[in-house]
Amino acid sequence: MMEKEYEGLTNPGMILAFVSSVFGFLSFADAFFELPIDSVFAMGLIRLFLGFIFFLAAMVNLLKGRAAGNLNLIFSVCFGLFSGSSILVKTFQNSMVVLEQPPIYALLQIVCALYLAAILPVMKKLPMYQWICFACVVIGLLCGASCEFTGWMILKRISGICFLIFGCLNIYTGLSWTIEELPQGPLMEQVFFKNKPVQ
């Protein structure tokens, strides 16, 4: 069977879903396991590289005029570029003059979470599982940031569980780009606005 060829840039949805799932599983591992310093270093490098890939995919969406590209840029910064560089500083802080500043990263997480929470209501045309995906990011970021300020480890565990769900749902999202027959389930507006006709 011949594969169809398209001119120009294609939709980077599948690679975005893959990178998002990796971000989710890395965040889960960081929340639940005491990783050795070399593993933490590897995690920082992976986040940086994947953040750059996420950035390129966001540029593709922006060049194609998709509003989602703006949201992709936020993810590339929060989960990849800034997070990865922060983790790398943590691994080298004993041999550097500059020390890691967790409150600064936590502040970025809070800003990102509040921004995503503000736009959740307008995402009602997404399939419910994708909406839950974004909701898990909001809760995960808020709990992770709150742990940095309070020291309550239970908040870090909740954050890890949310990102585990986020990672798993993104695997399904990525598969949906390849296997069109996969069911997407109801839209959010179909679940919460049953009496209102779907446009």
The three-class DSSP label of residue 194 is coil
**Per-residue pLDDT tens for 123-134?**
888 888 889 998
Q: pTM score, two decimals?
A: 0.82
Summarize pLDDT for 137-169 with one digit per residue, the tens: 999 999 988 988 888 999 999 999 999 999 999
Q: What is the dihedral of CA 107, 120, 80, 78, to 10 degrees?
A: -20
Q: Where are the domains of the chain?
A: 13-192
Tokens of 125: 């045309």
Is residue 96 within 8 A of residue 124, CB to CB? The reply is no
As assigned by CATH, the class of the 13-192 domain is: mainly alpha
pLDDT tens digit sequence for 62-85? 888 887 787 888 888 877 777 777
